[in-house]
Amino acid sequence: MMSNVPQFIDIEDKIVGPLTAKQLGWLALGGVILLVLWALLALPAFIFAAVFVAILFGGLAFYRPYNQPLLSFIMSSVGFMFKPKMYIWKRLPEKELAKKAKQKEAPVIIQRKALNEGKLEEISKLLDTK
């Protein structure tokens, strides 16, 4: 039985023309914000705010630095800014230390079995008969 295997599973589906659902959502959200700003602000203030909002939401919709969405890139950058840059050793909890100590205390000792000539002859007879 033959079946088709999808080839491009990491590419998002196009919803409207060349736009994906995420791009369309970002642009729609930017449009809603511009509509609210149009109702609240005077014309010169609206133009200034509209340029800022259009650049912000256009970047969120279309710009992909290092092949990841701009929002993920910004969140990673903010996380990098606030996380410590040096790794600090953290002691294990007492329970885990006790477990590791028990594992080290009981080493496994493997003893070799003694093999005499009588046992060796038995094994060779078994091998020859089968």
In a domain, 5, yes or no: no
pLDDT of residue 14: 85
In a domain, 95, yes or no: yes
Span 59-82, mean pLDDT?
Answer: 93
Other beta carbons less than 10 A from residue 70's beta carbon? 17
Calculate ∠ Cα 31-35-40, nearest 5°: 145
In total, how many domains does the chain have?
A: 1
In a domain, 129, yes or no: no
* Structure-token pair, residue 24: 């369309």
Q: What 8-state DSSP symbol labels residue 18?
A: T
Instruction: Report if pTM > 0.85.
Output: no
Write the pLDDT tens digit of every residue in 105-130: 656 677 777 788 888 888 888 888 86
In a domain, 116, yes or no: no
Q: With 70 as the cut, is the pLDDT of residue 74 above it?
A: yes
**Alpha-carbon distance 62 to 26, whole Å?**
9
In a domain, 88, yes or no: yes
List the domain range (segments joined by +) for residue 64.
14-105
Span 45-66, mean pLDDT?
Answer: 95
In a domain, 123, yes or no: no
In a domain, 38, yes or no: yes
- The residues near 34 (Cβ < 8 Å, ≥ 6 apart) are 50, 53, 54
